Amino acid sequence: MTSSSDSRIYVALVHYPVTDKNGDTIAAAVTNLDLHDIARACITYGVQGYYVVTPLKDQMTLVSRIVAHWTTGAGGVYNPKRREALERIRIKADFKSAVDEIEKKEACKPKTVVTSAREQSGSVPYLYLREMLKEPKPFLLVFGTAWGLTDEFMTEADYRLAPLKGVGGYNHFSVRSAVSITLDRLVGER
Amino acid sequence: MTSSSDSRIYVALVHYPVTDKNGDTIAAAVTNLDLHDIARACITYGVQGYYVVTPLKDQMTLVSRIVAHWTTGAGGVYNPKRREALERIRIKADFKSAVDEIEKKEACKPKTVVTSAREQSGSVPYLYLREMLKEPKPFLLVFGTAWGLTDEFMTEADYRLAPLKGVGGYNHFSVRSAVSITLDRLVGER
């Protein structure tokens, strides 16, 4: 992959179904800086679309307003670089709608790759996926908010990516950091 | 580097002297999520101390209060993992105070490594610094907020790290993403 135009990579930030601290399934609230930071990382690494998935109508409206401020509103005039990044955001009520839209655009169903801070059986290493992403196929990288994607959601994906590791046992990244590091490992210049 | 206890790496997030959009030198405001996200990335990669540098008294007080909430207050009880991360935060009025504290602790002046989104003459590549960090010496990685560290500050450092690159020409990361990716490139498990 030598330029962003070759990429057929998409990112989804899922707010439902995710788990809370106790393992219960919830719809998490959207965080403003998740929109900005992840959109900026996405455009840097040539991601074609950044899907923000939430079934909550008021949250969908909130995201639309924030994105509009930075794309068609005053924010876009003040900071055109931010506009360019936030233009890649698409808001969907459910994950299937994101997959369907990518399938329509790419004329091919995307392979889904889920991420987690927890060890997964049969997870793929970063270098393996990095090679696979060079194939001319669409891929959708999926990140969960709150305490992460539900087990059921994880098992339905095509691939499970190995958790990010540092040098000790602590791996409680913000989702903003996790997306940034994951994209750098998968498509960053080496 | 095999465990966090071997590390002699420190991180500084500098709010002064940095530049604004027009290139003027300013003292930037502290962003709450810079404290959380960067503290979490620091502990993951075995960073020994995370220095938040701001000369503004009200900002120093604000940071103290946020950190206290998550370390000695209610936040630390609610989320002990967050406590563990935020305990690495040190607040300093100027950069020299951070360097002096590290020198005292390590009995050796740390080598300073500055970062920037702009190309620098004589900058060192990531793999070079990754090897260098294995030496038994303290290093201080420095990140600027707003539009980045001033040129004068950059030239006074021991090393200038090459800018992060994705796959296109866009490299306007949030500082939260930049710290996370940089630490992963320098000390992350491969």
pLDDT tens digits for A12-58? 999 999 999 999 999 999 999 999 999 999 999 999 999 999 999 99
Nearest CB to B41; choose among A4, A33, A173: A173
Taking only the tens place, the pLDDT of each residue in B16-34 is 999 999 999 999 999 999 9
- Chain B nearest C-alpha distance from A180 (Å): 6
What is the spatial distance between Cα B41 and Cα B131, in angstroms, rounded to a whole number? 20
Per-residue pLDDT at A1:
37
A180: nearest CA partner in chain B: B177
Quickly state the pLDDT bin for A169 (edges 50, 70, 90).
confident
Substitution target in B9, B50, B177 with the highest count of A β-carbons within 10 Å is B177
The pLDDT tens digits of the residues spanning B121-149 come to 899 999 999 999 999 999 999 999 999 99
CB contact under 8 A, B40 and A184: no
- Judge: A172–B40 Cβ closer than 8 Å, yes or no: yes
A166 and B187 within 8 Å at the Cβ level: the answer is yes
Of A3, A167, A184, the CB nearest to B3: A167
Residues of B with CB under 8 A from a CB of A: 1-4, 7, 33, 36-37, 40-41, 43-46, 81-82, 84-85, 164-168, 170-174, 176-177, 180-181, 183-185, 187-189
What's the token pair of residue B72?
A: 């000695």
Q: Name the residue facing B168 among A4, A166, A180 (closest C-beta).
A: A4
* CB pair distance less than 8 Å for B44 and A172: yes
Task: Test B187 with A168 for CB contact under 8 angstroms.
Answer: no
Whether residue A116 is predicted with pLDDT greater than 70 in this model: the reply is yes
**pTM of the full predicted structure?**
0.95
Give the minimum alpha-carbon distance from B173 to chain A in angstroms, rounded to a whole number.
6
State the pLDDT at residue B190: 73
Determine the Cα angle at A148 with ends A111 and A98, to 5°. Answer: 35
pLDDT, tens digit, for every residue of B79-125? 999 999 999 999 999 999 999 999 999 999 999 999 999 888 899 99
* Whole-number average pLDDT of chain B: 94
Question: In chain B, where are the structural domains located?
Answer: 4-187
pLDDT tens per residue, range A83-102? 999 999 999 999 999 999 99
Joined tokens for residue A119:
């060890």
State the DSSP string of B67-133: HHHHHTSHHHHH-HHHHHHHTTEEEESSHHHHHHHHHHHHTSPPEEEE--SS--TTPBPHHHHHHHT
- pLDDT interval class at B3 (50, 70, 90): very low
Tell me if B177 and A41 make a contact (CB, 8 A cut-off): yes
Query: Which class in CATH covers the domain with range B4-187?
Result: alpha beta
